Amino acid sequence: MNVLVIAEPSALQQAVCHWFEARERAFRLVAPADILGLGRADVYNTVVLDLATLEGLQRGNELSLSGESRHHLIELLEASASPFIFLSDGRVFDGDYAPINHRETDNVQPGSVAGARLSAVEHLLERHIERRVILRTGPVFSNQPDNFFVRFFQRLLDGGDIALNSQLKTCPTHVADLARVISGVIDQVACGANNWGAYHYNSSSPTSAYEFAEVMFAFASQQLDLDQKATSLVVQESALRIEPAVPVLRCEKILHDFGIKQLPWRSYLPQPIKLLCEKQNP
């Protein structure tokens, strides 16, 4: 079964396509702006994967798909009965009870603009698309710009005291780990798995900005002379935190239904840090 990937150029899109290529799965990339040009033949016998919505809402508060484009896509999916994989995140739970470890069965209660927009799309899909997987994740990071990981690294390079929040916990998830999970879900859906509804996946080990930066500092110090810059991490609760602030998600259901295990975010840090360090020492 082919895959239609709705995405702008990004680290996540590249990681997902890398997994498809490694598994010799045919796929086609479509930009959000081109959805209105799709017809029923484009989605027939195809898994449709929306990366663009999550990517846009993790960078800011704007939806990448217009209302007209989203409704056109839903009409095509209804007519073709093709499976739909939609990426969301834990901000659908970021209301009064956040942050706690949320299960898929917990009531959605967004407390932010991004959470409300994700929740609205989820409800729309629940009403119209029977064969759907809503995959909620944590704050996604990579070594490309526009995410907290690169901003933290730049602060390490700047040196001096770096004030970081140590209380707010989340589960940062590297694009390669999330791509692994997406590919695994699609493999099983393409083979006839009848597991539909909401699922959670974020990398294991909840962490704060301070703890995450400590690990980054340790890896980066092996390749750069950060002592020369007098870099020091300082706890300050009103300071830097991991963005977006996504509540921790429990991930037992995806293990039970798809056999997909959580992997620790720490295991994904060495390679992107090495790449960033190499840019400083060409």
Domain count for the chain, please give it: 1
Residue 226: its pLDDT value, please? 84
Q: What is the pTM of this model?
A: 0.96
Instruction: Write out the chain in H/E/C secondary structure.
Output: CEEEEECCCCHHHHHHHHHHHHCCCCEEEECHHHHHHCCHHHHCCEEEEECHHHHHHHHCCCCCCCHHHHHHHHHHHHHHCCCEEEEEEHHHHCCCCCCCCECCCCCCCCCCHHHHHHHHHHHHHHHHCCCEEEEEECCEECCCCCCHHHHHHHHHHHCCEEEECCCCCECCEEHHHHHHHHHHHHHHHHCCCCCCEEEECCCECCECHHHHHHHHHHHHHCCCCCHHHCCEEEECCCCECCCCCCCCECCHHHHHHHCCCCCEHHHHCHHHHHHHHHHHCC
In a domain, 167, yes or no: no
In a domain, 27, yes or no: yes
Question: Per-residue pLDDT tens for 114-132?
Answer: 999 999 999 999 999 999 9
In a domain, 271, yes or no: no
CATH number, domain with residue 60: 3.40.50.720
Domain boundaries, position 43: 2-142+172-205+245-265
Residue 144: its pLDDT value, please? 87
In a domain, 278, yes or no: no
Residue 37: its pLDDT value, please? 98
Residue 21: its pLDDT value, please? 97
In a domain, 234, yes or no: no
Residue 282: its pLDDT value, please? 62
In a domain, 119, yes or no: yes
**Weakly modelled stretches of the chain, pLDDT under 50:** 98
In a domain, 151, yes or no: no
CA distance 226 to 231: 6
In a domain, 221, yes or no: no
